[in-house]
Structure 1
Amino acid sequence: MHDVYLYLHLLAMAYFVGGQLFLAASVVPALRGNPDRESVRAIARNFGQGSLGALAVLVVTGSAMASDQHLWKSGTLHAKLALVVVAILLVVVHARQPGRHVYEGLIFLVSLVIVGLGLHLATM
């Protein structure tokens, strides 16, 4: 089952982090200055809904892998989990204040650190 958990975990991570990168690097610049703000909102809303699903998959599969590998006492895992909580809080705040674009950048930076910690855990 470990390979299934890992596959689903990586797929959800790719959606969450890759989607952020795609939005920041392609969608937002392409639509900047476009008076049709509703298109941007629809794209962001759809990505947000998918991100919630991806976060749920990440939590379930990450918990399963941590249990399988007996990582619950790992300081690296604790740091990663703390940042996951920070990322979730930032997503909630950003959903309530979508005009504050600083949250998008913070979510992306925290996500990159989480990925780095996950890579470190994978090599332990």
Structure 2
Amino acid sequence: MTSDISDWPPARSESEWVLFYLRGLGIAHIARLCRVPEAAVRRVIRSREAADSGVMGRRLILHDRPRPAAQPKDACDREWDKRYTALFRFVATQGRFPRQLGGPVERSMQRWLYNQRLKLAAGELDTRREGLLDALGDWR
């Protein structure tokens, strides 16, 4: 026998309503989740706010939640420069561009160069990087 959620009684725990509210849920959403009248949830939240004025200060609102830090632009540039330097050294010592059938390091450089070609074709490769790659020879 399986039980459907609609068979459950309404969640009437007022402390849970306040906890939901403090975690950022809106009054209408809490009422819907707990299957109780919105007016009842609003009354409890407002009375709790009147009793403790710090409730709103502790409430997490969606835009208050921290966003994962984006990788700084200069870190991306450093990674590109590192890969370019490795490719430059390879071309200088081997006298050719890396091949897909080489070892793992050579395959990695070949794949990176292939991705640079794709970026160039899509118009996403900036002119500085294009100029550096052009200095290596016929990489296109």
**Fold-level match, TM-score > 0.5?**
no
Structure number with larger C-alpha Rg: 2
Query: Structure 2 length as normaliser, TM-score?
Result: 0.27
More relative contact order in 1 or in 2 (CA 8 Å, sep 6+)?
Answer: 1
Structure with the higher fraction of residues in helix conformation: 1
Query: Structure 1 length as normaliser, TM-score?
Result: 0.29
